[in-house]
Amino acid sequence: MSFERITPHLSSDTVDSVETAILKAEHDQVKRAGRLHWVHWFIVGASFLLTLGAWYLVKSQEDEKRTLRFEKEAEQVVGLVSERMQKYEDALWAGVAAIRSQSHGIDYREWKLYSESLKIDVKYPGINGIGVIYHVPPADISAFLARERIARPDFNVHPAHDRGEFWPITYIEPVRANAAAVGLDMAHEANRHTAAKKARDTGKAQITGPIVLVQDAERTPGFLFYAPFYRGGTRHTVDERRENFVGLVYAPFIFKKLMEGVLAKENRRVGIRISDGADVLYDENIAEVAGFDPRPLFRKTIQVHEYGRVWDFQISSKLSFRHDETSRQPWLILAGGIVIDSLLLGLFVVLARSNRRALSFADRMSNQYQAQANRLSNIIENAVDGLVTVTEEGLVDSFNPACERIFGYRAEEAIGLHISRLIAGSEVEVEDEDGDGDKEIQNIGELLFLTSAIGVTRSGDRFPIDLSFSEITIDGRHLFSGIVRDITERDKAEKEILRSNLELERFAYVASHDLQEPLRMVSNFTELLRREYGDGLDSTAQKYIDYTCQASGRMQALVSDLLDYSRADSDSTGFEEFDSGEAVAVVLRGFEEQFEESGADVKVGALPVIFAGKMRFSRLLQNLVGNAVKYRDPGRRLSIQIDAKDQGSEWWFSIRDTGIGIMPQYLNQIFVLFKRLHRKDEITGTGMGLAICVKIVESFGGRIWAESEFGSGSVFYFSIPKSATQRGAR
C-alpha cells in the first residue's frame, strides 16, 4: 500500500504571513483609532459651525422681530399723539361750528355753556382750556371792550404793543385755571401772532411754536392751537379769508399735560422726546424718568408735520423693552451647542484613550502569548523526542527537528506525507495488506493504541520506536499529536542485559552445581577426620575442625541457595492449576517440629485454587514461613496467619507473623540479594531467601512486598494473577 504525497495548495508559511499582514493592518487601524483623527476634528468643527449658524439664525430672527416690534411701538406712539391732536382739532372745529350756529356771534355766557358741554377734563385730557380770540382792528377796540365789559366790567386787553391790531383772548373756559390768559393779546408776541395769522390765511388749524403759557406756573413748554372762523362760513382764498376773518377758537396746551393725557394709560416700552427745531417740547429720555435706558436697544427719529410745525419725535426703547425683548434663546443655543461640542470632543478623547488602552492591553497579551508560543516552540524545537502531528486524513501536519533526526526527512519534505510512510509496523492487530511483514495502519485512529512500532527512515532503514499518540483540537482542527522515540539503543542495551543475565545465571548455576560436590567432600572428610582422629587431637585442632565444619556447612547452604536462586524462574513453563491450600498444608507439615519447639500457633484461612508453578509456590511459602519462624520474638508466643484475598484479577496472599518486625527503612532492602539485617552469628542465613521469593513471584507475573511494625510483627504479601493472559509473556 502506498500513499502519494499531498501538496497543500498554499503552504502554511504563506497563510501565516498573509494572516500576519492582515493582523498588522488591523493593529495599525486600531492604533490610528487611538488618536484624534481629522474626522473627529471635522465632526467637532462642523458641529461648532452648526451651533454658530443656529445661534446666528435665531439671533437675527429675534433681532428682526424686536426691531419690528420697536418700529410698531414707535409708530404707535407717534400715531397716538397725532390722533390726539386730531381729536383736539375736532374740538376746536366744533367750537367754530358752535359760534357759527349763533347768528349774532357768541357771548361769554354762551361760550361758557358750550365749553362745559365739551367736558374738557374728561374727554380731552391734556387740554388746558378752550377759548375764543377775536380779531379786533384798532378802530373797533373801544366798541369791543365796551361790549365785553357789559358782562365782565374788569375785562381788559393786555399787554400794550404797537402792532396796530388786537387779537385778545376773549373767552376761555374753564376760566379759573386760565384767568391769567383772559384778555391776553396774541399780537403782543410774534410766535403767537404769526401762528394766528397763518391760521387766518390758510383757513386751517395751526399751532404756535413752543411758548410758555401765562397760566403755567411751572413755565414748561406749551403751545396754542388755533382754528379760524369767518363771516359767512368757509372761505376759499387768502383775500376772502382776511376780509371775512372774525377770530379763532383756541386751546392752550401745556406739553407735559398733553403727553400725560395722550399716553398716561399706555404701558409704553418706548420713551419719546419731542422737539420743535431746537426747542425740546417734551422729554422722557432722561435719567429721571422711570424705565429710562441710558443705552437704548433702539432709537429712532420720526418727523411729523403737525399743523404748520415740524415736530421731531425721537423714540428710544426703555429698560422694560430691553427686559422683555432680551431673549436668552440664542445664547442658550450657543451655550448648549458649545457644551455639546465640548462633550463630543471629550467623548472622542475618552474613546481614543480607551482605544489606546485596549490596544496596549492587546499588545501586552499578544507579547505574553508570543513569549509563551516562543517557549513552546523552543521546547518543541529542542525536544529530544520526535513530536509529530497528523491530520485526520493521516497526513503529517508538523514535524519537529528531533523527528528530522529520527526519520531523516526535512520538515518540509515530511509535511504532507502519509504517516504510514514513517510508521510502518505495529504491535497492534492491524492488517498486513501488502504482505511485507508489516502490519499497516488502516485507520488513523489506530495510532492512539500504538505504543511501539517500526519506524522507516527516508532511506528505507527500519528501526524500533516507542509511540504515544493522543487526540487534540487546534483552531477547530482535529489532529493526532504524537511523541516518537527511537529505541534502537535501548533495545540493544536491553538485549545485552538479558544476554549477560542469562550468562550470569548459567554461570551461577554451573558454579553452584559444580561446587556442591567438592564442598560435600570437604564437609564429609572433615567430619570423618573428627570422628576417626578426633580423640587424638588436641583441643585447638578440634576447634579448627569445628570451624571448618561450620564454614563448609554455611558454604553448602550458600551454594544450595544460589542454585535455587538461579533456578527459581528457569522452570517458567511448569504452570498448572492446583489447590494452594493443599500446597501450603504440605509446606507447614515440614515445619511441624519447629512449630512445636517454639510453641507457634499457625492458622490458615481459605486458600484458592491457583494457576502457577506448584514447586516454586511451595518454595515461596517455605521461605516466608521459614523466616516467620526464624525471626520470631523469643519473649512472645509466635502466631502465624496465612490468608488469600480476591483482588479481582489477582489473588493477594499474606503471611502474617508476630515476630521481631522490620524497621521501616529496611522494608525494601530486604528483597535485595544477600541483604541481611543480622549478623551470621546472631541468626543464621544467606540473605538470599527473599531474593528467591522475588524471582518466583515475578515468574508468576506477580509482585511481593512487606509491611511491618518493628517489635510487633510483619506481613509479607505477594500477588498471583488469576489467568495466564494477565501474567504476560514470561
Q: Site residues (CB under 6 A) for ligand ADP?
A: 627-628, 631, 657, 659-660, 662, 670, 676-678, 685-691, 714
Q: State the minimum distance, in angstroms, from the CB of residue 674 to ligand ADP.
A: 8
Q: State the minimum distance, in angstroms, from the CB of residue 721 to ligand ADP.
A: 24
Q: CA-CA distance, 674 to 40, in Å (whole number)?
A: 90
Whose Cβ is closer to ligand ADP: residue 249's or residue 704's?
A: 704
Whose Cβ is closer to ligand ADP: residue 312's or residue 633's?
A: 633
> What is the DSSP pairing of strand 639-646 with strand 601-604?
parallel
Whose Cβ is closer to ligand ADP: residue 44's or residue 670's?
A: 670
Q: State the minimum distance, in angstroms, from the CB of residue 675 to ligand ADP.
A: 6
8 Å CB contact between 309 and 279? no
Q: State the minimum distance, in angstroms, from the CB of residue 689 to ligand ADP.
A: 3
Q: What backbone phi and psi angles, to 5 degrees, belong to 268?
A: -75, 150
Whose Cβ is closer to ligand ADP: residue 197's or residue 676's?
A: 676
Whose Cβ is closer to ligand ADP: residue 291's or residue 687's?
A: 687
Whose Cβ is closer to ligand ADP: residue 490's or residue 678's?
A: 678
Q: State the minimum distance, in angstroms, from the CB of residue 636 to ligand ADP.
A: 13
CA angle 45, 47, 49 (to 5 degrees): 70
**Mutual orientation of helices 38-101 and 255-263 as an angle, nearest 10°?**
120
**Residues in a beta bridge with 628:** none
Q: State the minimum distance, in angstroms, from the CB of residue 560 to ligand ADP.
A: 12
Q: State the minimum distance, in angstroms, from the CB of residue 449 to ligand ADP.
A: 41
> What is the DSSP pairing of strand 462-474 with strand 477-486?
antiparallel
Q: Is 607 helix (H, G, I), strand (E, B) or coil?
A: coil
Whose Cβ is closer to ligand ADP: residue 388's or residue 690's?
A: 690
Q: CA-CA distance, 597 to 575, in Å (whole number)?
A: 35
Q: State the minimum distance, in angstroms, from the CB of residue 677 to ligand ADP.
A: 3
E strand intervals along 550-674: 576-579, 601-604, 609-612, 639-646, 650-657
> What is the DSSP pairing of strand 386-391 with strand 477-486?
antiparallel
Whose Cβ is closer to ligand ADP: residue 113's or residue 672's?
A: 672
Distances (CA, A) of 618 to 563, 596, 650: 16, 21, 18
8 Å CB contact between 114 and 106? yes
CA angle 678, 718, 496 (to 5 degrees): 80
Q: State the minimum distance, in angstroms, from the CB of residue 679 to ligand ADP.
A: 10
Whose Cβ is closer to ligand ADP: residue 231's or residue 703's?
A: 703
**Nearest by Cα to 389 from 351, 350, 422:** 422
* Alpha-helix runs per DSSP H in 463-487: none
Task: Please give the DSSP secondary-structure letter assigned to residue 184.
Answer: B
Q: CA-CA distance, 45 to 52, in Å (whole number)?
A: 10
Q: State the minimum distance, in angstroms, from the CB of residue 500 to ligand ADP.
A: 24
Cα torsion at 206, 208, 212, 213 (round to 10°)? -30
Peptide bond into 174 cis (omega under 30): yes
Distances (CA, A) of 203 to 10, 206, 208, 234, 309: 117, 9, 15, 8, 15
CA angle 482, 483, 487 (to 5 degrees): 135
Whose Cβ is closer to ligand ADP: residue 298's or residue 718's?
A: 718
Q: Look at the alpha carbons of 532, 536, 537, 542 in this order and tell me if their dihedral is positive or negative.
A: positive
Q: State the minimum distance, in angstroms, from the CB of residue 503 to ligand ADP.
A: 24
Rg (CA), the chain: 73
Q: State the minimum distance, in angstroms, from the CB of residue 376 to ligand ADP.
A: 50
Question: 704: part of which helix (H) or strand (E)?
Answer: strand 704-709
Number of Cβ within 10 Å of residue 608's Cβ equals 15
8 Å CB contact between 79 and 306? no
Q: CA-CA distance, 684 to 556, in Å (whole number)?
A: 13
Whose Cβ is closer to ligand ADP: residue 389's or residue 708's?
A: 708
Q: State the minimum distance, in angstroms, from the CB of residue 575 to ligand ADP.
A: 25
Q: State the minimum distance, in angstroms, from the CB of residue 543 to ligand ADP.
A: 26
Q: State the minimum distance, in angstroms, from the CB of residue 549 to ligand ADP.
A: 20
Whose Cβ is closer to ligand ADP: residue 552's or residue 714's?
A: 714
Listing DSSP states for 341-388 in one string gives: HHHHHHHHHHHHHHHHHHHHHHHHHHHHHHHHHHHHHHHHHH-SSEEE
Whose Cβ is closer to ligand ADP: residue 103's or residue 665's?
A: 665
Whose Cβ is closer to ligand ADP: residue 403's or residue 660's?
A: 660
8 Å CB contact between 173 and 180? no
Whose Cβ is closer to ligand ADP: residue 537's or residue 667's?
A: 667
Q: CA-CA distance, 396 to 393, in Å (whole number)?
A: 9
Whose Cβ is closer to ligand ADP: residue 206's or residue 714's?
A: 714
Q: State the minimum distance, in angstroms, from the CB of residue 547 to ligand ADP.
A: 21
* Alpha-helix runs per DSSP H in 249-295: 255-263
Q: State the minimum distance, in angstroms, from the CB of residue 693 to ligand ADP.
A: 8
Q: Is 121 helix (H, G, I), strand (E, B) or coil?
A: helix
Q: CA-CA distance, 270 to 67, in Å (whole number)?
A: 12
Whose Cβ is closer to ligand ADP: residue 96's or residue 662's?
A: 662
